Structures are given as structure tokens and as C-alpha cells.
Structure 1
Amino acid sequence: MVRLPLTPDEIERGQRLGSLLRTARGERPMLMVALEARVSPETLRKIESGRVATPAFPTVAAIAQVLGLSLDEVWAQINGATGAEDPRAGASSLVAG
């Protein structure tokens, strides 16, 4: 399967997601959060750094749950600057990875 290049909006949204998760993690060790969310520390590191701009939805949901973030809150934070009103409009960007 050929993966299309990410759009500038997708890259920016991935950077906002990474920043949100990093801020929410605070002083908690990355390893502990990753283990609780059942994702690899490398995956969490890549998401937080914006290198994985479109992580899979279950991955985002698991990390958000561990960090005490609602998915509505995550959606609002990462899409606030793009003006997306309908959550379904950008849902594919969270499940593409």
C-alpha cells in the first residue's frame, strides 16, 4: 500500500497532538506512561516529537486515557487552530497511522 505524503495541516495537527500529550505527561516518565498505555516508549516518543503525525486512533485513545485526557479535549486542542467543526471531517488523520 502506498502512503500519500502528509499535508501541511496534518503535520501541524500532529505537532499539536505531540505537544498536548507531552504537556499532559508533565514529569511522569515516558516509559511509565507508555507501559500503562500499552504502547512502546519509541512510539510515544515519536508521537510527542511530532514524527508520527497521524497515529492510530486506539493509540491516541490509550495514551489520552492514561494521561486523564478526554478524547473530546484532545480533538478540540489539536483541531482548534484548523477550524474543523465536524469531528468526522478529520477523523481519518488520527487513524491513518
Structure 2
Amino acid sequence: MVRLPLTPEEIERGQRLGALLRRARGRRSMLETALDARVSPETLRKIESGRVATPAFPTIAAIADVLGLSLDTVWAEMSQPLAGAEPARPGRNTRERLVS
């Protein structure tokens, strides 16, 4: 499978997701959080650092559940407009990829 390069918007969304998860995790260890969410610590580290900008939905859902975050909160954080970007115009195709 060939992956298309990530857009700047996808990269920024991934960074916002990572920051949200780090804040929500607080002082809890990355290892404990990852094991409770049934993901590898390496996966969690990559998501929190923004290296995986478009993680799979079940992965996000599992981590959010362990951290007590609602998916609405996660989506609101990820879908904020880019700093300095124009808002989407009505009728424009504004499909967003949550996972690849």
C-alpha cells in the first residue's frame, strides 16, 4: 500500500491530538496508559509526538477511553481551524480524513 504524503492540515491535526493526549495523561506513565489501552507504548509515543498524524480510529478511541476523554473532545481538538487559515466556505468539499 502506498501512502500519500500528509497535508499540512493533517500534520497539524496530529500534533494537536498528541498534545491533547499528553495533557490528558498528565503524570500517568506512558507504559501504563498504553497497556491499559491495549496499544504498544511505541504507538502511543509516536501519536503523542505527532509522528503518527492519522492513527486508526480504534486506537484513538481506546486511548481516549483510558484517559477519560470523550470522542467529542478529541474531535473538537483535532478539527480546530489552522492558525491563519481561511475558514471553509459553504459548499466546498471539506472532507477530512481521521484515519488513512
4+ residue runs over 6 A deviation: none
Q: How far did 1:23 drift?
A: 0.5
Q: How far did 1:78 drift?
A: 1.2
Q: How far did 1:95 drift?
A: 1.9
d(CA) in 2 for partners of 1:95 and 1:51?
Answer: 14
TM-score for the superposition, normalised by structure 1: 0.88
Q: Please say if 1:95 is aligned against 2:99.
A: yes
Structure with more helix by fraction:
1
Match of 2:91 in 1: none
What SS does structure 1 have at the residue aligned with 2:33?
Answer: helix
Structure 1 residues without counterparts, runs of 5 or longer:
none
Structure 2 residues without counterparts, runs of 5 or longer:
89-93
Of structures 1 and 2, the larger Rg is shown by: 2
* TM-align CA RMSD: 1.5
Match of 2:12 in 1: 12
